[in-house]
Amino acid sequence: MKAIISLGLLTLAGCAPSGGSQSLPPSVAGIVGTFVDIEGRPVPDGLLFGDSLAAEVPIAISDAMGQFQLGFEWKDDQYGQRYDCYAKKQGYAKLHFWAHPRPGQVFDLEDLIVNRTGTLIGKVIDESGKPLEGVTVLVEHEDQDAFMQSWASRRHPRLYALATTNWLESATTSESGEYEFDGIPPGNCSLQANHESFFWHTSDFMQLEANSTVNVPPIQLEAIPESLQIQGRVLGPGRSHVSNAEISAELATGFTVGSLENCMIWEETIPISTLTDSLGNFTLCLPFRPSSPIQLFISPSQEKLDIASIDGVQPGDRDVQIILGATQKLVLRIIDSQGLPVENFGCVLDIYDSEDPGASEISERRKIDPTTHLSGRGTFCVPAKRFYLNITTDSGRWQEIGMFAPGSLPTLLEITLK
């Protein structure tokens, strides 16, 4: 998050409503706008947050006329980057808007519409009527993808900004199975209840009025039968129990998305996951029977254990055993031919299960996408197996480094890219 400049030193309110600019220090950009309700009346005391609504202190507050103004550090090398803002006020829908600022200029977003909201209250139960705790409940608005039409229709082409309302919300049921959503925009809403041990449930759309409360009828979930469960255990080196490891899979729904015209057709998938208990045991419940065997992915919470996957798992399997290998630390420092650090790089590891130096069959190719590493130094957890190391960069450069055996890694491996 960039530092916010004291707005008392900047005369931002006088900028043209068409999205014009005024002179500012070359390292500062500004955004101004006005919050209004659906009838065009100003909405004062709207709280603005940068990057996330999780922040405790707002960076700006709209005044009695609904107007707000932001000034922040924004340098030439940030040209084209997006600046996100969130706004909220009790009784109104949360708003997410963003822009691509330009150093030394102020842009006016004009009117940003915030809607009055309503409240949804309900309960989730099982087939016997017992309250279910820990169920994830999602509320989805029929207009989830709608843009702020009154503003977008007259946005200035130089502004490069867009504003939308966040319609999707989530909550977790309490010990008594209850949930509550406050601040939902008026209109048609539906609810979805998800729990790893029960079939998912999606309600019909219901009408929610502004400044109203809807008591939703109890949502009853049906337990997933054993025939759609996969049970197993995750063990580490020495057959130690691996707790809190994530077991995940993606199930093909049988539905396709895209079009032949654009040559973009893919099968829609649904992610599912669960965690191992203290003994490494897990039960993964499938919300429907897949058309083919599935692949499980195992991600341990301990860095000393390697990730793994297993193919050909069927619904109803009862004794799936997964043994995770150990990891070792690979510390790299990458420089270019001028001796300058290369800060954006990744790795490709060709991994061999056999420790025999003469064995040539690769068991896995693992890609670690290029990311930023300060001063060209990066640390990676890699399998404690024999592997061939390749270095990649975001510009597409590729350099083969060599083969490494378990326990042979230096404390720091320095590499010069050619």
pTM recorded for the entire structure: 0.63
How many distinct structural domains can be found in the chain? 4
Residue 378 lies in domain = 328-416
Tokens of 273: 């996951």
Domain harbouring 15, CATH code: 2.60.40.1120
Q: What is the mean pLDDT of residues 99-125?
A: 85
What is the C-alpha to C-alpha distance for residues 99 and 48, in angstroms, rounded to an integer?
14
pLDDT band with cut points at 50, 70 and 90 for residue 51? low
pLDDT at 153: 33
pLDDT band with cut points at 50, 70 and 90 for residue 327? very high
pLDDT band with cut points at 50, 70 and 90 for residue 154? very low
Judgement on whether residues 216 and 231 belong to the same structural domain of the protein: no
What is the C-alpha to C-alpha distance for residues 191 and 209, in angstroms, rounded to an integer?
16
With 70 as the cut, is the pLDDT of residue 117 above it? Answer: yes
Tens digits of per-residue pLDDT, 246-265? 999 998 866 544 444 555 55
94 inside domain? yes
Between 309 and 95, the higher pLDDT residue: 309
**What percentage of the chain carries pLDDT values higher than 70?**
81
Tens digits of per-residue pLDDT, 356-403? 877 788 999 999 988 889 899 999 999 999 999 999 998 888 999 999
Judgement on whether residues 303 and 375 belong to the same structural domain of the protein: no
**For all residues of the chain together, what is the average pLDDT?**
81
Judgement on whether residues 344 and 318 belong to the same structural domain of the protein: no
DSSP assignment, residue 326? Answer: B
244 inside domain? yes
Domain boundary among 205, 220, 235: 220
pLDDT at 184: 82
pLDDT band with cut points at 50, 70 and 90 for residue 110? confident
Q: What is the dihedral of CA 233, 238, 241, 243, to 10 degrees?
A: -100
pLDDT at 143: 61
Judgement on whether residues 21 and 105 belong to the same structural domain of the protein: yes
Terminal CA-CA length for the chain: 35
Between 204 and 268, the higher pLDDT residue: 204
pLDDT band with cut points at 50, 70 and 90 for residue 203? confident
Domain boundary among 220, 254, 279: 220
1 inside domain? no
Distances (CA, A) of 148 to 109, 135, 161: 12, 32, 12
pLDDT at 254: 61
Domain boundary among 220, 242, 257: 220
Q: What is the mean pLDDT of residues 325-330?
A: 94
